[in-house]
Amino acid sequence: MINKILNKLHVPGFHQPKPVVAVVRLAGVIGQGGNPVKPGLNAASLIRPIERAFGMKHLQAVALQINSPGGSPVQSSLIAQRIRALAAEKEMPVIAFCEDVAASGGYWLACAADEIYADDASVIGSIGVISGGFGFPQLIKRLGIERRVHTAGENKNMLDPFLRETPEDVEKLKDLQLDIHDAFKEMVRERRGEKLKESEEKLFTGEFWTGRRALNFGLIDGLGELTSVLQERYGKQVQFRPVVRQKGWLRQKLGMAFGGGHGSSWLGSQSGFDRWTDDILTAIEERALWGRFGL
């Protein structure tokens, strides 16, 4: 307020600070996966950068650069909740800019913004829930490998990829998916509200569209890219301040050598075979997520 008064009074030696827009890049598969070079998007690694973004001086808005095919609904929700909490606390507008794809969890993140922009050819939507996996019971049998699993709890090994899938397991999984889908739909309803121009029967099927069609459906607010849209709004002098996630030097250089990234079972460390298959399955699943959208 004082700066605005001094500027209007033309006080000698005083110059109005240039407007600042913090830019938070949300690119990649959402979840705890990834690797030291290309980590996944998750709340643990993003909360601090998001807080730094909202704490900048002379801030006019926070821009989200989103390029994600989705992933963990829990991590999507946690990241979005923190963005909304800080936006309300600081009374700061949040504007999302979708790049190649903002689908599934990627669109969940976009809904954390007050406005959503995309390119004509961006892939938008996929408001649904999907679970993918692989089954290897015949393969390990041919290889002469014996799968040993010991559990306390009859459903603890549900959907184990090395055991046969059962109808009961699939039914339980679908019940879980319905609950998650309901949470996703509620997020879209809350954030987009009356902006939606198409029926829920059309929008909430998991289908996805180009940016132009998404605009017609009310899933986004406009077509455009970050620099031109924000310069038009805040002037050519606006300063863009990227906020990046910090990476530990050892984690960058040595990766998993010090145990990072791999979990362990409650009764002991994962076997080498399990870690190997986990890495392969994670890489395949992440590639499949991008592949669904032609990327």
The predicted structure's pLDDT at residue 13: 53
Q: What is the pLDDT of residues 234-291, one digit of tens each?
A: 999 999 999 987 655 444 444 444 344 433 333 344 455 445 545 555 555 666 656 6
Over residues 152-167, the pLDDT tens digits come to: 766 666 667 666 777 7
State residue 292's pLDDT score. Answer: 61
Q: For position 283, what pLDDT does the model report?
A: 58
Say if residue 30's pLDDT is above 50: yes
Which pLDDT does position 50 carry in this prediction?
97
Q: What is the pLDDT of residue 89?
A: 97
Question: Among all residues, which ones are annotated catalytic?
Answer: 104, 156
- DSSP per residue, the chain: -HHHHHHHTT-TT--PPPPEEEEEEEES-BSS-B-SSSBPB-HHHHHHHHHHHHT-TTEEEEEEEEEE--B-HHHHHHHHHHHHHHHHHHT--EEEEEEEEEETHHHHHHTTSSEEEE-TT-EEE--S--------HHHHHHTTPPP----SSTTTTTT-TTS---HHHHHHHHHHHHHHHHHHHHHHHHHHGGG--S-HHHHTTS-EEEHHHHHHHTSSSEE--HHHHHHHHH-TT-EEEEE-----HHHHHHGGGGSTT--EETTEEPPHHHHHHHHHHHHHHHHHHHHTTT-
pTM for the whole structure: 0.74
User: Please, which pLDDT band fits residue 9 given cuts at 50, 70 and 90?
Assistant: low
User: What confidence tier does 17 reach under pLDDT thresholds 50, 70, 90?
Assistant: confident
CATH number given to 14-291: 3.90.226.10
